[in-house]
Amino acid sequence: MDRILIEGLEVRTVIGIFDWEREIRQIVRLDMEMAWDVRRAAASDDIADTLDYKAVSKRLIAFVEGSSFGLIEALAEHCAAIVMQEFNVVWMRLKLSKPGAVRGSENVAVVIERGCLD
């Protein structure tokens, strides 16, 4: 199966379990790999025949900006559900990162895979 990727999508949101985290907006970064057969779009050269990665990005930006989760695991699960349900993606891998969440580390992240590849 072919795959469409969106990498390094950064969004500011309320995320975290500590009181101070509930009062600020922090950056989260999304990296997505989505199964999509690109042959039809390759033949037609028409956006209507592919997964519109701009539409996916805009939808997730709006959702994440308006959200307020304690855990990156919960945010990742909701983002994957949106992509799969609203854009008819049958399989995806999503990495959701929270840069600087742990002192001394560059990044913490969760990676989830949902759906199945046929």
Distance between CA atoms of 4 and 26, rounded to whole angstroms?
27
Q: Provide φ and ψ at 9, rounded to 5°.
A: -75, 110
Is 98 catalytic? The answer is yes
**Minimal CA–CA distance to 101: which of 30, 6, 9, 16?**
16
Cβ proximity of 32 and 93 under 8 Å: yes
- Of 54, 58, 95, 98, which is the active-site residue? 98
Q: Reduced to 3 states, what is the DSSP secondary structure of residue 89?
A: coil
Q: What dihedral do alpha carbons 46, 51, 53, 55 form, nearest 10°? A: 90
Strands, E, within 36-90: which ranges? Answer: 68-69
Catalytic residues: 98
